[in-house]
Amino acid sequence: MADSQTSSSELYVLDYGAGNVRSIANTLTKLGYSFKWISRPEDFAKADKLIFPGVGAFSTAVSNLRSQGLFKPLQDYIASGRPYFGICIGMQILFKDSLEARDLLASAIGGTEKEGALTDEANWAGLGVIDWEIGKFDSKDKSVPHMGWNGVTFVRDNAGPETRDGLSETESYYFVHSYSAPYADDPRISTWANSTTQYGDEVFVSTVKKGNIFATQFHPEKSGPAGLEVLRAWLDSTQNAASARDAPSSPPRSLSALKQPVDGFRKRVIACLDVRSNDQGDLVVTKGDQYDVREKDEASGRQVRNLGKPVALTSRYYNAGADEICLLNITSFRNSPLRDQPMLEVVRSAANEVYVPLTIGGGIKDTVDPDGTKRSALEVASEYFRAGADKISIGSEAAIAVERMMERVGSGGQWTGDGTSAIEQISRAYGRQAVVVSIDPKRVYTSADTSPADAERYSQETIVGASSPYTLETEKDKSWWYQCTINGGRVLKSLSVVELARGVEVLGAGEILVNSIDRDGTGLGFDLDLIRLMKNAVSIPVVASSGAGNEGHFADVFQKTNVEAALAAGIFHRGEVEISSVKLRCREHGLKMR
């Protein structure tokens, strides 16, 4: 509940029907503030303060606001001078328009004119408060989306503590976006910019502040204690934003002054929790050795290995400094995704405990309920987003979708999706950054029996142990390529790992989680050959998984592959390695960490 200081003003949160709004609700509750939801146009008149925690695609947000009659009332609210806090899309929608909407239109209709919401300019033009366009990151020198932790730099030299709004140049904040407002020496944007962030060689606006408006490109509700402080500072302000933020200030710094030789992007350490039912029907966190999650001891009855309760471990890893937490339902859903209340409750409860990104995976696909009701992948994902997930992980369904696409290509079709896959459905509505594809490759060793057709097909992605500096000594006399599997490694597919990775990027995935059946549970270190192969194949972020046995393995995979994130499970669950010690080792190797 709100304290006496905050109860005198009405705080409202705008939910236009997409994305994870539970996170901002949980954050406000933790900070001691009560709030109400904007559920109809008339509610804007009751609001004294407004937060717009937009998540997803720009065009989807604009279209939903217009269809619900909320677009014009939002414009009127901002024009009234009452305080406004926009988050991510809630910041971008302040601009006149976004290249994201145009890109989505081009991909959806192949560059031809068709009827539909995306062809109507009214559905992709922003509020126009800021006369500037949202552009797209260049992926030539970096992975896109910009997904992870980064710093901020104040645009004005006199940004003392009283004008920082809870922001600090020494802290890290969580970003997840492919599009941004590029900073320039142009008063149309420089007079609005409060801070900038650099990703690769590009400098973009990370917060805007003018009059009653304050907005962040990053997600404060997912930026740990540093992000909570930003929200707290805005909420605790008892002055009218216009009078507080129109104080005289120094001129904005030039782009050249703000640009640094190296960006402030941090590597991510992710804790993964494989969740499944044990033999008693309870959801537990488990971990397999090469995907076998049952105890080796026959005397134990080969019970499912139980390493703890999902919510308790999630909270533990957040407090230990995990940059992200991943919950994978490795037995998929008991009946149907939308009827699996135990797993939904795990997500809801976990979201109450953590203020860093939460990924959920397992069974995110088109399904049919036991009563015959059809559920689209988008409907399933939406339920999990609203339960508290920030990203959705797709596994077997992704491989099947790429196979279908390749069959169309072989029949003379284009290297594009058909709009029906789970990846396409979810990325269209929520943006590419909301979709993670988890792949499970297995080594196929070459030999005299390898067919000439396979040798030719996989020649460009075959690893020759003798010539690789990253191969273990025991593998120097071997060569191999990586074949994809589905259903927890039980079913082999004809796809190579490179074919799958490139295919899911085309379909709209924003990140790839690379597992290794061969390294899983071995403690031998990440498969550096595999990770390098993935990094060279795609332009989206890659997460390394499987095989970590000590802190040095994380530093190795970051330095030798330039991967954006690394994930571990068993060594964290068993207490063999602490997240803090991983980050310390990485810093000792000159890596930037949160």
Secondary structure string (H, E, C) spanning 304-359: ECCCCCHHHHHHHHHHHCCCEEEEEECCCCCCCHHHCHHHHHHHHHHHHHCCCCEE
Percent of the chain with pLDDT over 70: 84
The per-residue pLDDT for range 428-457, each reduced to its tens digit, is: 888 899 999 999 999 999 998 999 998 999
Q: Are the C-beta atoms of residues 337 and 331 closer than 8 Å to each other? A: no
Give the residue from 576, 475, 455, 458 showing the smallest Cα distance to 519. 475
Tell whether the model's pLDDT for residue 293 goes beyond 50: no
Tell whether the model's pLDDT for residue 303 goes beyond 70: no
Among the options 97, 100, 165, 221, which is catalytic?
221
Q: Are the C-beta atoms of residues 305 and 275 closer than 8 Å to each other? A: no
The two structure tokens encoding residue 125: 């033009």
Annotated catalytic, 461? Answer: no
pTM of the model: 0.90
Distance set, CA 22 to CA 55, 210, 220 (Å)? 11, 28, 13
Among the options 97, 274, 424, 520, which is catalytic?
274
Of 135-139, 281-285, 345-349, 469-473, the least confident: 281-285
Q: Are the C-beta atoms of residues 500 and 399 closer than 8 Å to each other? A: yes
Buried b vs exposed e over 191-230: b needs ≥16 C-beta within 10 Å?
ebbbbbbbbbebbbbbbbbbbbbbbbbbbbbbbbebbbbb
- Report how far residue 210's alpha carbon sits from residue 80's, in angstroms, rounded to the nearest whole number: 14
Among the options 100, 165, 440, 475, which is catalytic?
440
The mean pLDDT of the chain is 87
Annotated catalytic, 390? Answer: no
Annotated catalytic, 586? Answer: no
Terminus-to-terminus CA distance in the chain, angstroms? Answer: 31
Rounded average pLDDT over 36-54: 94
Q: What is the DSSP letter of 136?
A: E
The two structure tokens encoding residue 110: 């192949």
- Report how far residue 344's alpha carbon sits from residue 337's, in angstroms, rounded to the nearest whole number: 9
Tell whether the model's pLDDT for residue 84 goes beyond 70: yes
Among the options 88, 326, 484, 586, which is catalytic?
88
pLDDT recorded at residue 164: 82
Q: Which of 56-60, 160-164, 377-381 has the highest mean pLDDT?
A: 377-381
The per-residue pLDDT for range 163-180, each reduced to its tens digit, is: 588 999 999 999 999 999
Tell whether the model's pLDDT for residue 332 goes beyond 60: no
Among the options 146, 219, 553, 573, which is catalytic?
219
Q: Which residue has the higher pLDDT, 412 or 563?
A: 563
Q: In what order do the strands lie in the sheet with 95-98?
A: 95-98, 130-136, 179-180
Q: In the chain, how long is the greatest CA-to-CA distance?
A: 79
Annotated catalytic, 340? Answer: no
Rounded average pLDDT over 347-373: 88
Tell whether the model's pLDDT for residue 527 goes beyond 50: yes
Rounded average pLDDT over 148-163: 83
CA 196, 200, 203 angle in degrees (round to 5)? 25
pLDDT recorded at residue 43: 96
